[in-house]
Amino acid sequence: METVKYKKFFDGRVLFVDNDSIIACKSNNLFISYDRGDSYSLLTSLPCSFLEKLILKSSLLSRLFRKGVSFLDRADSGDYLIFFNKSTYRLKNNRLEFTGSIRGSRPLSVARKNGDFFYGEYRSNPERKPVSIFKLSKFDNVWKSVIQMDGVRHIHGVFYDIYTDSFWVTTGDSDGESGIYNSNDDFKTVDKVVGGAQIYRAVHLTFTEEYIFYGSDTPKEDNYICKLKRSDLKLERHQRVDNSVFYSRAFGNVICFSTAAEPSTVNSESHVQLWINKDEKYFSLSFKKDMFSMRYFQYGQIFFPSGPGDNQNIYFTNYAIEKHLTTFKVSIKDIV
């Protein structure tokens, strides 16, 4: 295990990166940069009440009331989809269009296929009622349920796989409810691929041509960064980590994973880690959880932006840990 150098990039959260632009947010304002972050201009301001604006000005109150922008991505058409508080919006030709409210809690992932977006219903669900996968069509401004799943507590994530032109779904939380599913017919059906144990309790999936990478998300057992071989579904535990893994994504030729500080008798509550897999070698950064209650002010986490990236840098934003709501950058070429 090696450590890497990082530097501050933006005082706020970076939401989207590609070769041409970077989009970041502060409060209810979205900013765009066309010069790799040297300067920013206002892209749009999201609608909110006077009280919500006051809450968003306080990092603690925004954490307590779960306010802020949680997701932004760009469709092939150039339109943006934005999740803000409990609402979703499409930004089209510099005009905001309301596209509905979120069912359940803010989703841990949102998938995109061409101009359509998908997310899974994530809520406490103690009664174990069926949970839905929702779709926002590029031709519509309303989220619609495309399929319901039984036998799971909630849906952790929905992901589009460019290598197989199919969707993958992760679920939790008990052994029987934890699994990784696939749909190759745009959610007319969904089939369990692996499951039945905590090692298959995943949130985010990241794809390569040969493997599916993910980190386990269990407070009951040791957690690992894992990979599933597509050809035979053989599971390999790649790297033990100290906490549940919530997020992962590829930046250029590296795959990044971030852990979360959450209450557990097995895992650490004191820090979170960023793990970087480059050429099958792992590098890490560690950040301390801040002093505020996880129950009220959220788990310590590290967020990654949407978009294809710029193939040169890793971007990540600290949340509820030291340097809260600061985005950092790591140069991929400097990871050796």
Check which CATH number belongs to the domain holding 129 and give it. Answer: 2.130.10.10
**Residue 44 sits in which domain range?**
2-334
DSSP bridge partners of 72: 82
Which residues are within 8 A (CB) of 4 and not within 5 positions of it... i.e. 6 or more apart? 276, 283, 284, 285, 330, 334, 335
pLDDT tens digits, 18-69: 999 999 999 999 999 999 999 999 999 999 999 999 999 999 999 999 999 9
Tokens representing 208 are 């390569």
Name 311's Cβ contacts closer than 8 Å, sequence gap at least 6: 19, 251, 252, 332
pLDDT at 147 over 90: yes
Q: Running DSSP on this structure, what letter comes out for residue 216?
A: E
Q: Are strands 41-45 and 69-74 parallel, antiparallel or unpaired?
A: unpaired
pLDDT at 263: 81
For residue 124, what pLDDT is reported?
Answer: 94
Average pLDDT, the chain: 96
Average pLDDT estimate for 85-93: 96
pLDDT tens digits for 278-323? 999 999 999 999 999 999 999 999 999 999 999 999 999 999 999 9
Residue 333's Cβ-count burial label (10 Å; 0-12, 13-18, 19+) is exposed
The H or E element containing residue 13 is: strand 13-17
Whole-angstrom distance, CA of residue 277 vs CA of residue 334: 13
- The two three-digit tokens of residue 122, written as one number: 């994530």
Is 269 a residue whose pLDDT tops 90? no
Q: Are 56 and 62 in contact (CB under 8 A)?
A: yes
- The total domain count for the chain is 1
The conformation of residue 124, written as its DSSP 8-state character, comes to -
- pLDDT at residue 134 above 80? yes
pLDDT of residue 266: 87
Supply the pLDDT for residue 1: 55
- Residue 262's pLDDT band, with cuts at 50, 70 and 90, is confident
Confidence at residue 264, expressed as pLDDT on a 0 to 100 scale: 85
* Residue 336 pLDDT level (bands cut at 50, 70, 90): confident
pTM for the complete prediction?
Answer: 0.95
Q: How large a percentage of the chain has pLDDT more than 70?
A: 99
Q: Is the pLDDT of residue 236 over 80?
A: yes
d(CA 154, CA 126): 10
> Can you give the pLDDT at residue 44?
98
* DSSP 3-state of 114: coil
CA distance 111 to 82: 13
Task: Decide if pLDDT at 79 tops 80.
Answer: yes
Tens digits of per-residue pLDDT, 46-60? 999 999 999 999 999
The CA distances from residue 259 to 110, 168, 208, 275, in Å, are 19, 21, 21, 8
Burial code of 221-255, b = ≥16 C-beta within 10 A, e = fewer? eebbbbbbebeeeebeebbebbbbbbbbbbbeebb
Per-residue pLDDT tens digits for 183-226: 999 999 999 999 999 999 999 999 999 999 999 999 999 999 99
Q: What is the structure's pLDDT at 2? A: 62
Q: Of 23, 204, 43, nearest to 108 (Cα)?
A: 204
